[in-house]
Chain A
Amino acid sequence: MALLQAGPVALDWFDLTLISLCVLVNAALSLWFRLRMEGELLIASLRTLVQLLLIGYVLHHVFAIGSPWLVVAILTGMSLLAGQATVGRMKRRFRGVRWIATGSILVPCFLMLTYAVFVVIQPPDWSDPAYLIPIGGMVLGNSLTAISLAMDRFTNAMLERRREVDALLCLGATPAEAVHSLTKDGIRTGMTPMLNAMTVVGLVSLPGMMTGQILGGSPPELAVRYQILIMFLLAGSTALGSGIAVVWLRSALLDPRGRLRHLS
């Protein structure tokens, strides 16, 4: 049995061209069933290619320069983009939603990342981009999904179940009580994907980071420990993010008298 000794096999442009044929399956389905997803698919594929090549290039230089400020700047930039993407995924938007999305991503990510790096991992140099950037990226990516799901769910529920909320207000509920079941629903929706992932990890799915470490030549036992750390970190940050997002959204969408605002 061959062991990975000197890192993984190099992938050249030809290999990437070959693997891009896989996406042709999506294109074929889209054409056959007239899903009209060809355009989006093409753009998404190109974005994958360009964005990853770009970050590879950036990281190459970040590793070379090794400045803590640069690492923090990159993480902040990634957070702002994540906030933007969260808003982009929401079907109903209103003024101020960008603050809620960005804040709900930024705060838990900052807290959780600080805890993971300073308390748990304690690398020789905290600003070592090899820790902060990949872990930060994973936290941001998962928070983005969780928070956009939670916010979308809660916003839609506020519109669809408006009469129910109104009826409870009329019966003496405080605004928070009147939307309590909607709040629970929103937070639960945000926490569900991570819970599902934690249920099948290792059995059905081998996550990217672990695969990467193993490919990179790390012993599987260590790769697994890092993965456990990541899973719990993601569980915490997505939950905290969903909670902040929904509670913040609640106070933005309901005025102190319990009347719905911003949405019509």
Chain B
Amino acid sequence: MTSDTPLLTIGDYPGLCGPHGDGVLRLGPGEMIVVRGKSGAGKSRLLRRMIDLDPEPVGDIRFRGTAVSDIPCAELRRRVTYMPQDPVRFEGTGQELIERVRQLLGNRDHVAPRAALQSWLDALDLTDVVDRPMLEYSGGENRRVALVNALQLSPEVLLLDEPTSGLDEQRMGIVNRIIADRRANGTAVVWVTYDGGTYDDAQTFEVKAA
């Protein structure tokens, strides 16, 4: 892999507008793209299309040069992992879900080592939380557990839908540090947000309702 091989490319996506005035997106290893847009403009939908989960595929979306619809779906979604805005609370504890995800056929040989998992749980103050039933989680707890679940797949591209909403300043800082650390390890990030915060080293794209 050379450094100029883009992980994710999008061409010809209606409503997507980049810094150069067109909708062409190229995301290389360790790079980050911020996607903004009003609520309802289709930001989450864009992310779902990146993992070929939307019932109406639109635009030319490629992962490492291959159209996402041509990559086996479980593999695609492990390597390009989407953390939804409002993650589902499953029956059982957070730990049980984490283990279940580790046991999935396609994930077994690729998940992050337990030491890394533990370090994320520690950093995000989740060591006690994961032993509680998910149905009792607050919005913030649920989101943090979802982030750990996404991280443990060791994705090459991390798609984050409003990852810090509902988190306090301190936790927001921790999440930002973890993301920065992942990027330093080569993970590319697509960060969807509606707020006006600045991310100096990221290209900004706008999604407008098509």
Contact = CB atoms under 8 A, between A and B. Distances in A.
Task: Report if A and B associate in a common complex.
Answer: yes
A261 B105 contact: no
Interface string A164-188: 1011111111110100000000000
A258 B73 contact: yes
B104 A177 contact: yes
A166 B73 contact: no
B153 A172 contact: yes
Contacts of A95: none
B73 A171 contact: no
A61 interface: no
B51 A170 contact: yes
Contacts, number: 63
A172 B106 contact: yes
B104 A172 contact: yes
Residue among B55, B77, B81, B90 with the most chain A CB within 10 A? B77
Contact of B149 (A171, A175, A177, A256): A171
Contacts of B106: 172-174
Contacts of A169: 53, 73, 77
Interface string B94-125: 00000001001111000000000000000000
B135 to A, nearest CB: 12
Interface in B38-86: 51-55, 69, 73-75, 77-78, 81-84
A261 B78 CA distance: 23
A170 B82 contact: yes
A259 interface: yes
A29 to B, nearest CB: 38
B88 interface: yes
Contacts of B78: 171-172
B104 A171 contact: yes
Interface string B114-146: 000000000000000000000000000000000
Residue among B55, B74, B83, B106 with the most chain A CB within 10 A? B74
B87 interface: yes
B52 A170 contact: no
A172 B55 CA distance: 18
A172 B88 contact: no
A257 interface: yes
B111 to A, nearest CB: 9
A261 B53 CA distance: 12
A177 B73 contact: no
Contact of B53 (A164, A166, A174, A256): A166
Nearest to A255: B55
Nearest to A181: B91
A60 interface: no
A163 interface: yes
B77 A164 contact: no
B76 to A, nearest CB: 9
B107 A261 contact: no
Interface of B: 51-55, 69, 73-75, 77-78, 81-84, 87-88, 90, 101, 104-107, 149-150, 153
9 contacts: A167-B84, A168-B104, A170-B81, A172-B107, A173-B106, A174-B73, A177-B105, A260-B55, A261-B55
Given A170-B53, A171-B78, A174-B73, 14 more contacts: A166-B88, A167-B84, A167-B88, A171-B81, A171-B101, A172-B101, A172-B107, A172-B153, A173-B74, A256-B73, A258-B53, A259-B53, A259-B54, A260-B55
**Closest 8 pairs (CB-CB, A-B):** A172-B78, A167-B88, A174-B74, A257-B73, A172-B107, A170-B82, A171-B101, A163-B88
